[in-house]
Every structure is written in structure tokens, then in C-alpha cells.
Structure 1
């Protein structure tokens, strides 16, 4: 006996919340050996700059033992205008 295969109903794509327009975003990217990457994250934590848990989990980049970790900081914008370029 053959069972008929039915495809499940397509599910809508999950929406990704966008930051409000009055919010500024800054991303810090660390690239390097695992040990110094972790040391840098903990140093920045000790200095009060960012909690160590706010960084992404270190991931291999595929380049000879190099790792990457990212910190995203957001804050309310004072204005929507960018400073004039020098």
C-alpha cells in the first residue's frame, strides 16, 4: 500500500522586528584567536563598557583558527540628522 504524501500548509515567514527610526545602532566586531577574543570581551566587561554576555558566541570564520564575536549596542537617537562631513 502506498500512502499519499501531502505537503503541510506553507507557514508565513517570521517577521524580524526592525529598530524604531529614532534608534541608533553600533556593532563591534572582534576577529582573532579564541583566547584573545575572550580576554578582550572580559576586559571590556571589567571596564564597564559591555556585559560579557551581550557578545555573540565566538564562531569560527573558517580562516585558520580565527574566531568572530559581535556586540550590538542600541540607543535612542538625539536627532535623525547625520553630522556634516568634513
Structure 2
């Protein structure tokens, strides 16, 4: 994993995704959120493909949640990247 993508040191990936309010990132980091929206099969397949590509562990994604459009779900991944100075 590139070293500029780090999971917050003060929470586990599951905790970071489960919280409705996201805590501010450490001072030298900014949060980056990746959102996947689509059918249940499409979203889970994309998460699994990203895992195979070593982009993110499956457990780092939020549980599937209803999306604004009927029949769709969404999942979010939060990463912390080095902030540009």
C-alpha cells in the first residue's frame, strides 16, 4: 500500500466507517472518501475487485447502506492522505 494512504491511527477501519460523524483527520492528513453506489451485486463485486488489486481490505468498507435511488446500495471507504503543505 502506498505510504501516503494511511488508516487513522486512533480508530480501526470498521470503527471509522461505522461512525455517523467522521472525526477530523490528524493535522498532517486530509480525509479522502471513496463512495461506491449501485446494485448490491455491483457494489460487493467492486469492493472485492479492489481488494484483489490490493487497494483496500473488504473490512475497511462501510456496511452496505440504502442509496438514494430505489434498489441501489452504497458503501464508503475513508482514507487519510498526507496533506500538501
TM-score, normalising length: structure 1: 0.66
The one of 64, 72, 81 equivalent to 2:78 is 72
**Larger helix proportion of the pair:** 2
TM-score, normalising length: structure 2: 0.66
Query: Which structure is richer in relative contact order (CA contacts within 8 A, separation 6 or more)?
Result: 2
Structure 2 residue runs of 5 or longer lacking an equivalent are 1-21
Asked which structure has the greater CA Rg, the reply is: 1
**Count, aligned residues:** 64
1:47 paired with 2:61, answer no
1:34 paired with 2:40, answer yes
* Bigger mean CA offset, 42-51 vs 18-27: 18-27
Question: What RMSD in Å do the two structures reach over aligned CA positions?
Answer: 1.6
Structure 1 residue runs of 5 or longer lacking an equivalent are 1-15, 81-86
